Chains A and B, each alone.
Chain A
Amino acid sequence: MKTTLAKILVYMMVALAFSSCNDFLTREPYDSINPDNLTSSDDVVAMVNGAYQPLQWAKLYNMRIWTLDIIAGNSVVGAGGGEDGIETIQMADFIADSENFAALDLWRGPSPGILRCNMVLQSIETVPMEESLRTRCFGEVSFLRAHYYFILVRLFGGVPKITEPQKVGEDGSIPKQKRASADEIYELIISDLENAIGALPYKSEYATNDLGRATKEAAMAELARVYLTRGENYNRVVQLCEDIEARGYDLCDDYSDNFTIAGKNGPESIFEVQYYGKTNADFWADENQSSWLSTYTGPRNSNMVAGGWGWNQPTAEFVAQYEDGDQRFDKTVLHTNGPAFDGMYYNSSWSTTGYNLRKFLVSKGESPDFDTSAANWVVTRFADVLLMKAEALNELGRTTDAEVPLYRVRSRAGLTDRSTIEGLTKDQMREKIFHERRIELAFEGHRWYDLVRRGYDYAREFFYSIGKTNFTQKNMLFPIPLEEMEANELLEQNPGY
């Protein structure tokens, strides 16, 4: 009996050891989808939607892109003082090094978008789906990939050119790539944008629920901006702008309507980053669906809006740029003699400069808490296209023709004395247009790009004029973050850092 018992025990253990072991050890994730399963058209659309999402991040339009206006000298951080916003303060003082985490954020923002685009591009040909939808999806990710690379190339210069998802090598090696030249990146951007223009529908062809997706016009405006940045192909720029004009865009009657929740995706809107307001996601997480703008830029200690963290305080120098009678001043800047916001009058002691930003504020009625604002961020709007057209016309020597779109923008602001922009030389007109861009598009994230695309001497002169004498040639580009330099030893740092 004992022997039998012992035998049974041994058999039991052996059986336990070798039967169904692999089943026992196979545990699939519960809350995640395997990307190999992206086989349906719904999956592809979901991945395309995912490719838009990094636009919402604080690393891009929810914060870092608008802080470029601080670096460009339109405003100061303000905020809580001390270490609050120190990374932006250092950037704006041109003492930032490669450890600066504002630069790190801007480096971190676009690449996940590019990866998502590449994942779609990798599988879009093979997934069975409706042809028109396939074309649209192809167009959307082509636009987005160009958009992300365009941010990178302007801020950092040439970056690794990555057009397909990266994988750990068979030998366990981590994928790394050298920086491509800025020209190579621009080549990719231009070809992606041409693809997008070819594939995307017009804004008017989208259903209301799909407003906010990339449109043919958005890709055209983007391409126009690329050429202006490069200082080339002005004829094409004019053509692109005219094609957009022909699609029935118009300036909003009220400049402010571009930035309200009610006015999102309106008649002037060409491309916007969409926000929902309150959602499941944490305010600080990448998945956050609420706009930070009003929360961050509302005057600190004022209780004027939910949040109210006092960021982005316009400087006196910037305020002095407004011409008399410019209606945009009251709509952009909170100042002592300005109209009330949501029934409250401004107190200049809320700011270190005496001014705060008004342009993006959302009333507490619309956004009761700091993480509930549903306002969109406007990336490109028709006024910008008009100013791009004016710029291209002027560069082509058609200075008088440039007056027309320029005047259209100015007259909406109440600056209806056309003589102030008439009879200018090409150089004068260029200054006039850039001045107009600085005012019209103030705090919308364009100023930094507009300064550096004019060249080092121009930018240096401006920064010296506002007392920022630390500005040197190296500051034309941001430092490649140290963390990235260390993760990828193939990268070369930008000169001077």
Chain B
Amino acid sequence: MKNQRRPFLTALALLLFTFAGNAAEFTGNVTDESGEPLIGVNILEQGTTNGTITDLDGNFTLLSDNAAANLEVSYMGYTSQTVAAKEGAPVNVVLVEETTELDDLVVIGYGVQRKSDLTGSIAQVNSETLGKNQKANLGDALQGRAPGLQIVSSGSPGSNVSMNIRGIGSILGSSPLLVIDGVPTDVQLNMLNMEDIESVDVLKDASATAIYGSRGAYGVVIITTKKGQKGEGKNNLSLKASYGVDQITRTLPLLNASQFASLHNEMMTAGGRAQYPGYEDPPSLGAGTDWVSAMTQLGQTQNYSLNYSGGTKALNYYVSGSYLKQTGVIKTTEYERFTMQANMDADIFKWLSAGVNLSLNHDIKSQGEYNLLNAMLALPTQEMYNEDGTWAGPDGLAMYVGDIANPIGKMTENTQCTKGYNLLGNTYLEIKPWEFLTFKSLLGVQALFWDQENWTPAYDWKPIATPESQASRQYNKSLTLLWDNTLTFMKTFAGKHHVNAMIGTSAQVNDYEYLSGRVQGFVSETAQQMNNGILNPIVGGSRSEWSLFSIIARASYNYDNRYYITATVREDGSSRFAPQNRWGTFPSVSLAWRPTQESFYTPNRVLGDFKLRFGYGITGNQASVGNYAYASTVQTIQYVFNGTQVNAVAPLVMPNPNVRWEQVEQINLGFDASMGDDRLKLTVDGYYKNTNDMLVNMSVPISTGYSDVYTTQINAGSMLNAGVEVGITSFNFVGDFQWTTTINFAYNYNEITALSDGVPIYFDNNVNAVGHPVNSFYGYVTDGIFQNQEEIDNHAIQTVGSNKYSSTQPGDIRFKDLNSDGVIDENDRTFLGSPTPSWTFSINNTFSFYGFDLEIFFSGVAGNKIYNGNRASLEAMSVAQNQLVTTLDRWTGEGTSNDMPRAVFGDPNRNNRVSDRFIEDGSFLRLKNLSLGYTLPKHITQKAAMQSVRFYVSGQNLFTITKYTGLEPEVGGSGNDLNVYPVSRSVTVGANITF
């Protein structure tokens, strides 16, 4: 990264020397990256024995016979540099601390590889990048950090992000496989303490993921936790603490009580109903109740982490503990997390080593029965409390006073809590009979326990009371065991032929069980244990298993660091399939060429290194297959004869004995380039990914008698994802003032290319159909508003009838008659866009100067649509619910509006049907992180026996540029923004202290 070769300057210096011909004095200063002077650094004039060392301030003076020379600057523990020097021009050298071995290595699954030897498409995010972001959730911190890794944040405390690598690969979901310290796992990312993470490697193309075979189809995210460093004097104790406040990014302006009453009167009249006497005089009602303010608050996040790491000659260790507490922007939502991590590796003999990684976690997520949409829809005319202090609620006919039980009351009284107790660990033994052969046996365990607790007191809610108090519990247990055995051969022949081969087996088994219970009629509302309820106890429970056995092999060959070839194959057997479909083979091959290493190429500052990569492979997916999808089963149910219960059995799911893996075939072509003296690094990948035998839920005709809701899966479809990913890192300034810019962007094209018999799959407001992107929106197309009866008469029939209260009238929305048959019906619906962004991008600028560090990180998406489901209710104007202020511009007569329809009770024209009226552009660009830190100078901290002290202040999601009118454009899933917990804006202050 530092200017290592400056042939031009050297030549210039030599030229000057020729003219000068005098002895010269070179001066300069050497510091470390944080700007601290380095004492006793060796300075040697290249090609001579002339040298000196730096003084207490890091300064040096070297007398030379030459007017210009190259100086070799070296210091223990730092990477040596060669700099050009000439008289009268002091050189400032910044030495970079030698990075540990791991930084140069990329974790590739059942092994590691030098970054320069990679042939597949792998992006790495290291702890330094993660550490800049003060988000509590690792998933959130990864957003925008790796091109091709798309992450949708979730707002509620303790909830998880959704991840996709290189687009959505399958209708039934395509989450990447998560591997933590070698153990494929299904823990949630938010369970991890971010301080414990050393690196996150994102395996993207098939040649990289095929080693995970039937689980590698949609990418693999490999998380490696921190280790201590072997050797004396590397111990350190590190403490981190932060505190932040969170705020809802936007609230939607709603009608006040008098505005609502006017709208309601108008709506009732249009619907042919009597007006409500209570709304007779709207102005007298004033502002009314503000339910949303009563439901939201400033959230808070506290995060503390302490870790100690170190080692001896034959041992290293890392232990840590952390505590996190969050309160959400919606009242009653809370998350608390405790974590412990203990990692250790030991060399027992020269040929035998062993180690253990252990992670323990306990978290508590609690919330009331909140419903933000209901808080928006609740009537401003409704009081919060009755006179006796109890929660008030709508008391009267629903069409007048609404039907939403007091949302603040429900949130306060009805509670829910999930507690998790998680253990994730592995222990390994490594035997090296020869230097070139390693046998490794790894035992992994993942024990997840989680309890759900619900409490609902008896309460005389309006409009519908809860007559009995009720408590319910569900205890879940999931135990996964893993045993991996690998044999790795690694040797270099004749100095040029590098061979690395691995064969192994992997066996994994999971056992899941739950027990649930519910009881009513609690004697006292304060004693909420199951024993205290006396009425109607019910119990439930079930158990299921899966297992996977695999044989894996990989061979890499590299000739003289110029030509690379890697081939992998994995043979997977899964219990989820019938014996005849049980086994699958997943091969891959990848090639790379570094022309810059060829003898014909002279390394130069324009293009220092270039690597061309090609990869092809077939991977699989079985995550969306039920554990017993192939087997015929019946469920046990009940019936009753004359009051006596009898056992009954019934088939529910039509079995599919033919179900098998989903297969993904992927080609990747890319290059890595290092330019301008390594000042500009560029990685570009293009891919073409076909999901074949795509698993979809079987579309079972209802008339067969099998459930059309609970269905097994069928391999009946295919999907294409193709795209380009670019990652650019530019070291704009190096030295005392550093400025680095990182730009990531990715484009993905998605299309469903085949489905079972071409039958579209409809759900929510979406459809999956051949020739369209996955989860496309589907609905009617609006065409303004009928201004008068003539326009209605001249248009296709929408809602017929001679009754003006139950038919299409002026002020209603005109829908396009797409099939021109004169009737607006379900055949007039069409595709209204895709909820999945085609573009994802981020720009990060980091600066550091004299102890200060600054990060400005933007990330965004483009090309996606959102169905604003909240607005579909908040602009419905058809029932007694509060509405957005935008409805003040509603149609009230010819020419008054051409986009906001009239208010009419019952919505006879179905103005609120799924249509482009509620589809909005979901693109956004947000300032994801802005952080400013200051590290105290070493000479101060060293006096206090501290290695480093950093204070920082950081802001997340400070602003977002978007056209979307809802609460938050990050809605996730299939793009339906219906009561989604909004992502918040936050400001955090914190300190990191290392002893």
A10: min CB distance to chain B, Å: 7
Given contacts A33-B649, A52-B639, A275-B640, is CB(A115)–CB(B543) below 8 Å? no
- The reply to whether the CB of A328 lies closer than 8 angstroms to some CB of chain B is no
B603 touches A (CB below 8 Å): no
Known: A35-B632, A467-B803. A108 touches B582 (CB 8 A): no
Interface membership of A489, Cβ < 8 A: yes
Q: A16-B507, A83-B879, A287-B638 are in contact. Are A114 and B705 (CB under 8 A)?
A: yes
B648 near A46: Cβ-Cβ < 8 Å:
yes
Distance of A115 Cα from B632 Cα, bound (Å): 14
Q: Which residue from chain B places its CB closest to the CB of A31 in the assembled complex?
A: B542
Q: B855-876 interface mask toward A, CB cutoff 8 Å, 1 = contact, 0 = none? A: 0000000000000000000000
Interface stretch (choices B166-174, B331-339, B395-403): B395-403
Pair A301/B463 contact, Cβ less than 8 Å: yes
- Complex Cα distance, B503 from A43, in Å, reads 50
Taking the closest CB of chain B, its distance from the CB of A157, in whole angstroms, is: 13
Q: Which residue of the partner chain, among A49, A107, A481, contacts B648 with CB atoms under 8 Å? A: A49
B533 CB within 8 Å of chain A: no
CB within 8 Å of A: which of B730-773? 756-757, 759-760, 762
B residues in contact with A35, CB < 8 Å: 632-634, 651
Contacts of A174 in B (CB 8 A): 698-701, 714, 756-757
Is A486 positioned at the interface, with any CB of B under 8 Å from its CB?
A: yes
Cβ-defined partner of A56 (8 Å) among B434, B468, B639: B639
Nearest residue, chain A, Cβ from B627: A27
Interface size on A (CB < 8 Å)? 112
Q: Tell me whether B312 is interfacial, beta carbon within 8 Å.
A: no
Q: Which of B536, B714, B880 is in CB contact (< 8 Å) with A81? A: B880
* Candidates A9, A470, A482; contact of B439 at CB < 8 Å: A9
A97 vs B827: C-alpha distance when bound (angstroms):
10
- Identify which of A204-212, A240-248, A441-449 touches chain B: A204-212
Q: Are B464 and A309 in contact (CB under 8 A)?
A: yes
Check if A487 sits within 8 Å of B759, measured CB to CB: yes
Min CB gap B913→A, angstroms: 10
Please determine whether B648 and A53 come into contact, CB atoms closer than 8 angstroms. Answer: yes
Complex Cα spacing A74 to B74, Å: 96
A29 touches B403 (CB 8 A): no
How many residues belonging to B are interface residues under a CB distance threshold of 8 Å?
106
A281 and B638 within 8 A (CB)? yes
CB-CB under 8 A from A119, the residues of chain B are 651
Interface stretch of the complex, out of B6-14, B491-499, B546-554: B546-554
> Which candidate, A218-226, A368-376, A382-390, is the interface stretch facing chain B?
A368-376
Assess the B757–A276 pair: CB atoms within 8 A. no
Known: A13-B485, A30-B542. A166 touches B879 (CB 8 A): no
CB of B144 within 8 A of chain A?
A: no
Does B641 contact A80, Cβ atoms closer than 8 Å?
no
Q: Among B398, B642, B879, which residue has its beta carbon within 8 angstroms of that of A300?
A: B398
Q: Is the CB of B706 within 8 A of A22?
A: no
- Contact yes or no, A486 B503, CB < 8 A: no
Residues of A within 8 A of B462 (CB): 301
Q: Are A372 and B651 in contact (CB under 8 A)?
A: no
Interface bits A44-56 vs B (CB < 8 Å: 1, else 0): 0011011011001
CB contacts (< 8 Å) of A483 on chain B: these are: 702, 708, 762
Q: Which of B582, B651, B801 makes the CB contact (< 8 A) with A470? A: B801
A83 surroundings in chain B (CB, below 8 A): 879
Contact B708 A212 (CB under 8 A): no
* B656 interface hit (Cβ, 8 Å): yes
C-alpha spacing A369/B648, complex, angstroms: 25
Q: Closest approach, in angstroms, between the C-beta of A495 and any C-beta of chain B?
A: 13
Contact B801 A303 (CB under 8 A): no
A141 to chain B, nearest CB (A): 13
A9 surroundings in chain B (CB, below 8 A): 431, 439, 487
What's the Cα separation between A28 and B547 when bound, in Å? 11
- In the complex, which residues of chain B have a beta carbon less than 8 angstroms from the beta carbon of A370? 467
Tell me which residues across on chain B come within 8 A of A425, comparing CB atoms: none
Chain A residues within 8 Å of B538, by CB: 279-280
A-side contacts of B641, CB under 8 Å: 209-213, 274
Question: Using a CB-CB cutoff of 8 Å, which residues 459-486 of chain B contact chain A?
Answer: 460, 462-465, 467-468, 485
Query: Are A166 and B704 touching (Cβ within 8 A)?
Result: yes
Would you call A280 and B700 a contact (CB within 8 A)?
A: no
Picked from A13, A25, A275, the residue with its CB within 8 Å of the CB of B505 is: A13
B391 to A: closest C-beta gap in Å: 15
Chain B min CB distance to A117 (Å): 9
Whether the Cβ atoms of B503 and A13 lie closer than 8 Å is: yes
Q: Flag if B643 contacts A264 (CB, 8 Å).
A: yes
Q: Is the CB of B708 within 8 A of A30?
A: no
Nearest CB of chain B from residue A191's CB, rounded to whole Å: 20
A 167-193 binary contact with B (CB < 8 Å = 1; else 0): 110001011110000000000000000
Q: Known contacts A81-B879, A309-B464, A483-B708; is A32 also within 8 Å of B651 by CB?
A: no
Binds A, one of B250-258, B281-289, B378-386, B572-580: B572-580
Q: Does A349 contact B (CB under 8 A)?
A: yes
Give chain B residues whose Cβ lies under 8 Å from the Cβ of A320. Answer: none
Asked if A115 contacts B651 (CB within 8 A), the reply is yes
- Check B636 for interface membership: any CB of A closer than 8 A: yes
Q: How far is the CA of A484 from the CA of B709 in the complex (A)?
A: 12
What residues on A are CB-neighbors of B353 within 8 Å?
none
Judged by a CB distance under 8 angstroms, whether A265 is at the interface is: yes
Is the beta-carbon distance between B705 and A175 smaller than 8 angstroms? no
Partner of A82, one of B757, B825, B879: B879
B residues near A310, Cβ cutoff 8 Å: 398
Which chain A positions have C-beta within 8 A of B642? 208-212, 264-265, 274
Contact among B487, B640, B826 with A212 in the assembled complex (CB-CB below 8 Å): B640
Decide if A301 touches B759 in the complex (CB within 8 Å): no
Q: Which of these, B468, B647, B701, B760, contacts A175 with CB under 8 Å?
A: B701
**A160-B398 contact in complex given A53-B637, A265-B642, C-beta closer than 8 Å:** no
Q: Evaluate contact between A50 and B433: CB separation under 8 angstroms.
A: no
What is the interface of chain B, defined by CB distance below 8 A to chain A? Answer: 395-399, 403, 431, 433-434, 437, 439, 460, 462-465, 467-468, 485, 487, 503-505, 507, 509, 520, 535-536, 538-540, 542-549, 551, 573-575, 579, 582, 627-628, 631-651, 654-658, 698-708, 714-716, 756-757, 759-760, 762, 799-803, 806, 825-826, 878-881, 906, 908
12 A–B contacts, CB within 8 A, in A order: A2-B434, A27-B546, A53-B638, A107-B703, A108-B702, A168-B657, A174-B701, A175-B704, A264-B642, A300-B463, A300-B464, A301-B462
9 residue pairs, one from A and one from B, having the closest CB atoms: A115-B705, A82-B879, A81-B398, A32-B633, A49-B648, A50-B650, A211-B642, A80-B403, A50-B648
With A25-B547, A47-B649, A168-B698 already in contact, 15 other A-B pairs whose C-beta atoms are closer than 8 Å: A17-B551, A25-B575, A29-B628, A35-B632, A53-B648, A81-B399, A81-B880, A115-B704, A116-B651, A168-B657, A209-B644, A264-B642, A352-B399, A469-B803, A488-B703
